[in-house]
Structure formats: C-alpha cells, structure tokens
Amino acid sequence: MSNETNAMLALKNAWTGAIAASDRLRELGPSVQSLPEDADVTQLDLDTYLDAALAQSIAALALRGLIEEFQPKVAAPPQE
C-alpha cells in the first residue's frame, strides 16, 4: 500500500470519526435544549454529555492534526 493510499485512508477514517462524534452531539441536542431553565444540574447525566463533547473535540483535533500534517506536502514541489 502506498503512502498516498495510507494518507487517504487516514483522512477518510478521521473524517468519518469526526462526523460520527458530531452526530452524537446532534442526537443529544434535543434533550439538552428541552431541559427546564430551573433544572438542578446535579440531577443531569453530565457523564453522557461530557463523553459526547470529549469524543467530538478529540475527533475534530485528530482530523485537524492530520490535515495540518498534509499541508506541507501540498506546498512542496513534487520530488522526482
């Protein structure tokens, strides 16, 4: 497998992970938005919210890091 193939697979997988993590936040959105303003935060499922937010942030940072890793390759002239 070539380096280009590996890079493309890594990009696709990182992108898929970021989308899946964002979808989880979107799934939780209605339940968060429907919380009453006077709800007791100690009664909320904060672990679920934290897990979803953390997964999304890690996935987004991983995708960003991968894209930033590719950028110098785009700017560099092709080697023969």
Please report whether residue 79 resides in a domain.
no
Mean pLDDT of 35-58: 96
pLDDT at residue number 4:
81
User: Among residues 4, 13, 20, 17, which one has the least CA distance to residue 70?
Assistant: 4
Please report whether residue 29 resides in a domain.
yes
User: Among residues 20, 6, 29, which one has the least CA distance to residue 59?
Assistant: 20
Is pLDDT above 70 for 32? yes
Please report whether residue 78 resides in a domain.
no
User: Among residues 72, 68, 66, which one has the least CA distance to residue 11?
Assistant: 66
Percentage of the residues of the chain whose pLDDT score is greater than 70: 92
Please report whether residue 80 resides in a domain.
no
The tokens of 59 are what? 């996935």
Distance in angstroms (rounded) separating the CA atoms of residues 38 and 1: 57
Please report whether residue 77 resides in a domain.
no
Q: Residue 41 belongs to what domain range?
A: 3-72
Confidence band of 63 (pLDDT split at 50, 70, 90)? very high
Q: How many domains does the chain have?
A: 1
pLDDT at residue number 58:
97
Whole-model pTM: value is 0.79
